Amino acid sequence: MPVEGSLADALSTHRPPVRPLGELPRRPGVSARELRVPGPPQAPPVLVRIYRPEGATGALPAVLWLHGGAFVLGNIDHVHGQAAEAALFAEAVVIAVGYRLAPEHPYPAALEDCLAVLSWAAEHADELGADPTRLAVAGTSAGATLAAGLALLIRDRGGPTLRLQHLVTPAFDDRLTTPSMVASDSRTPIWNRTLAQESWRLYLGDTPGPTPAYAAPARAEDLRGLPRTYLSVAGRDPLRDEALEYGLRLAQAGVAVELHHFPDAQHGFAGPVTELDRERIAIEHLATLRAAIHQPTLD
């Protein structure tokens, strides 16, 4: 979602209320339902939408689907079509998460909401028709940041085992010192260093001390033991270099990582790639998700 001006100014225009599920376009072949699941301790319930291919039998893999929006914008309406398409194409139960947003709810609120939903999904796998041994997290932009932070958190503190973290044009580093980020300015389409600085400031709020790696995964010193990773990077995105560096570090740490750099794309693949390229990228994203979550073993 392109932002003109500051993120703070965009809060009033880019934060429409969540629409009733029945008002959103229905994807043929996919059922969708909405409910609220228990949130973290002393926090409100979390709104989720659950998508499942109609006619599917047996326990399907489950994917937590996290929307983007610089930690402060967007809602689950914005990934309604993506989540439904992923459920159908990847033959999975897809759970879109309406996590809390900064600045009203700074770190770690959004991450804790995502962890609560993932834990709930694993505990209620039978009623979801899901296989708790085949769980994945997926997100774009800030959603990918949350997915990566969630993978680190689960590795360190315990929780449901993940088969895959599927990360598209993620923001990994609040220090904003990579060459691609430093080279960006207000003329850079979609995203730039000024917006990134504001995004991190609003997300982190008054978090004391050094930025936690669960908030900014590039700060993690040890990447061993993380799940299989698909990392999709846009060549014209200021976030490009931090994502490429993270992917290299994952590989060096022994993590099975697949990294694809699309040189002509901008942040979030909003442009200027052709419609044919956009379709190719979307198909690859879904195909890698499907392959990873349906693979019998991921050694």
DSSP string across 68-108: -STTTS--GGGGHHHHHHHHHHHTSEEEEEE---TTTS-TT
- Asked whether the beta carbons of 107 and 215 are under 8 A apart, the reply is yes
Choose, from 141, 180, 199, 232, the residue flagged as catalytic. 141
Choose, from 173, 174, 237, 241, the residue flagged as catalytic. 237
Cβ neighbour number for residue 97 with a 10 Å cutoff: 27
Provide CB contacts within 8 A for 93, sequence distance 6+. Answer: 50, 51, 52, 60, 61, 62, 63, 87, 128, 129, 130
Provide CB contacts within 8 A for 291, sequence distance 6+. Answer: none
Choose, from 14, 78, 80, 267, the residue flagged as catalytic. 267
- Residue 237 annotated as catalytic: yes
Cα angle for residues 255, 256, 260 (degrees, 5° grid): 115
- Residue 124 annotated as catalytic: no
- Residue 277 annotated as catalytic: no
Catalytic residues: 141, 237, 267
